[in-house]
Each structure stands twice: as C-alpha cells, then as structure tokens.
Amino acid sequence: MAELLDMISADIRYIDGLKACMNCGVCTAICPAAEFYNYDPRDVCNTLMSKDEVAIAELLKTDKIWHCGQCLSCKTRCPRGNVPGLLISLLREVSIRMGYFTESEEGRRQYAIKKTLGEHIVDSGYCVHVMHVKPHLHPEQGPVWEWYFKNSEEVADRQGGNYNKEGSGALRKISEESLKDLRKIFEVTGGKDFFEQIDRQSKKKASELKKNITDNVDDNEYFYHVYREKNETQE
Ligand code: SF4
Ligand code: SF4
C-alpha cells in the first residue's frame, strides 16, 4: 500500500496542487460539480492531507473522484493556492493504475469512454466524428439524428465539408502519416499502456459480473452494462 502514497506524493499535481489546506470549504462553495453531485473537493483534500492509505484507497474506489468537470474554478478561489481539480486528475489516474476504478459505477464507465472516444481518436484521428455518433448509442440526439447519420456524407459535403476524403476541409480523412504520428505519441506518453490497463481490469470485472466482453462494441455486453445501466454503486 505504501506504493499508493509514493505514487501520489511524487506527482507534480500533488506537489503543486496541495500545499496546506485549511478546510475553509471555498473550493466546495465555488465547485459546479458539488452543486449537483455527492462530491466535496474540500473533503478530497482532507482525505489526502490525512495520508491515511486505507482512506485514500477507499476514496479511489468511489464515484466521488469522477464527478469533477476539470473547470479549475477551485484554483482561482483557494486562499492557499491549492488546486483540487488537479488532485482529482491525479487520483483518477492512480485509481486506474491500481485497478480500483472498476469498483464504482462512474469508474467502470472509463471502459466505455476508452471504447468510444479513446479508440476513435487512435483509429481515425477524431475523438468525435459524425460517423461515431451511432443513433442507438445516442438517443439524446433525437429522431432527426438517425436521418442525418444515414445521410451525413451528402449533407456534410453540401455544407462545404470533405467527408472522409483526402485533402482539406471539415470531416476530412486524417492522413496515414498523421495517424502514425498520433499513435506514436500515444505509445511514448504511456497512453497505450493506460488503455491496456483499462481493458485488463475491465475484463476482470466483466468476468466477476458474468458479462460477456468483446473487442466489438456492438455485441459487448459489459460495454452496454457500464454505458447504460445503473449498477451497484458504492454510495
Ligand atoms: S479552498 Fe483551498 S484551503 Fe479551502 S478547503 Fe479548498 S483546498 Fe482547502
Ligand atoms: S476543477 Fe473540479 S473540483 Fe475544481 S471547481 Fe471545477 S469541478 Fe470542482
């Protein structure tokens, strides 16, 4: 477990983000996420300041660390110059590295984010492209979206786009050379390892929950489970 505190205290986000918290609660008062969720950045600082490894490990297994929107309003208001938003970014990373993220509902959703936004950017160069916004995964887009999705190439080109074609313009195909560079960046910065860790831990969780997990999203039971369903939460 000392590994956990070592990992946290060596990180620049901890060194720069938590100098001395006096528990005033100003960060919580300004935090938009605290308004809507069971989330309290002051309390997160408190847990970290305690250096209680058991309490920190428990925090990493809860939904709490996934509610922050990374707006950094807390940075502008803290009288001690702390940055709870940076600490949350670090805690999310540690939760994934330690495999704790699969213990909470919001944490498990990291798998869905990796299978969609994460893989989209590595495969196509776009984290969100019209072709990725499949109507059955995005009912919030409404009935018109299904029509737009089917006709997106024609509509985009009529609006001056260059849908999935070589050259310049909106929605253009990203060149193989750029994709090669992008994948290299993912590899050397640790993004690829990070994605593999999300996959490994999610497979373990899927097996515990007796859910089928496959590379293909469309017949991946665990993907739909974490993407849509309310499952057993820690809170
Ligand atoms: S505003 Fe700063 S000092 Fe006050 S509780 Fe938040 S982190 Fe601590
Ligand atoms: S960065 Fe996160 S913790 Fe800070 S104010 Fe924004 S939502 Fe709240």
169 and 217 assigned to the same domain: yes
Pick the closest to residue 107 from 196, 201, 190 (CA basis).
201
Task: Using the CB atoms, write b or e for 49-71: b if 16+ within 10 Å.
Answer: eeeeeeebbebbbbbbbbbbeee
25 and 134 assigned to the same domain: no
Is the residue at 194 inside a domain?
A: yes
| 84 Cβ closer than 6 Å to some ligand 2 atom | yes
User: What are the helix (H) ranges across the chain?
Assistant: 2-9, 12-17, 26-30, 32-36, 41-50, 53-60, 73-77, 84-97, 105-113, 119-124, 143-150, 152-158, 176-188, 191-208, 221-228
Is the residue at 212 inside a domain?
A: yes
Q: For tokens 């750029």, name the residue.
A: 178
Output the pLDDT for position 84: 98
Output the pLDDT for position 234: 42
Output the pLDDT for position 218: 86
Q: Note the ligand closest to the C-alpha atom of 42.
A: 1
Q: Domain limits at 205?
A: 103-228
| 159 Cβ closer than 6 Å to some ligand 1 atom | no
72 and 121 assigned to the same domain: no
Task: State which of 73, 98, 123 marks the end of a domain.
Answer: 98
Q: Return the residue whose CA atom lies nearest to atom 8 of ligand 2.
A: 31
222 and 107 assigned to the same domain: yes
119 and 163 assigned to the same domain: yes
Give the span between the Cα atoms of 165 and 146, in whole angstroms: 22
Number of domains in the chain: 2
Is the residue at 121 inside a domain?
A: yes
107 and 215 assigned to the same domain: yes
91 and 111 assigned to the same domain: no
Identity of the amino acid at 77: R
Q: Which of 13, 18, 26 for mutating ligand 1's site (highest number of atoms within 8 Å of CB)?
A: 26
Q: How far is the CA of 43 from the centre of ligand 2 (A)?
A: 13
| 42 Cβ closer than 6 Å to some ligand 1 atom | yes
Output the pLDDT for position 1: 59
112 and 216 assigned to the same domain: yes
22 and 58 assigned to the same domain: yes
| 25 Cβ closer than 6 Å to some ligand 1 atom | yes
Task: State which of 98, 119, 140 marks the end of a domain.
Answer: 98
| 27 Cβ closer than 6 Å to some ligand 1 atom | yes
223 and 167 assigned to the same domain: yes
Kindly report whether the global pTM for this prediction surpasses the value 0.85.
Answer: yes
Give the span between the Cα atoms of 28 and 11, in whole angstroms: 23
Q: Note the ligand closest to the C-alpha atom of 41.
A: 2
Is the residue at 233 inside a domain?
A: no
| 68 Cβ closer than 6 Å to some ligand 1 atom | no
Predicted confidence pLDDT, tens digits, the chain (235 residues): 568 999 999 999 999 999 999 999 999 999 999 999 999 999 999 999 999 999 999 999 999 999 999 999 999 999 999 999 999 999 999 999 999 999 999 999 999 999 999 999 999 999 999 999 999 999 999 999 999 999 999 999 999 999 999 999 999 999 999 999 999 999 999 999 999 999 999 999 999 999 999 998 889 999 999 998 765 544 4
CATH number of the domain encompassing residue 46: 1.10.1060.10
Identity of the amino acid at 138: H
Output the pLDDT for position 212: 96
Is the residue at 234 inside a domain?
A: no
Output the pLDDT for position 185: 97
189 and 173 assigned to the same domain: yes
Q: Quick one: which atom of ligand 1 is closest to the CA of 18?
A: 7
Task: State which of 69, 98, 127 marks the end of a domain.
Answer: 98
78 and 138 assigned to the same domain: no
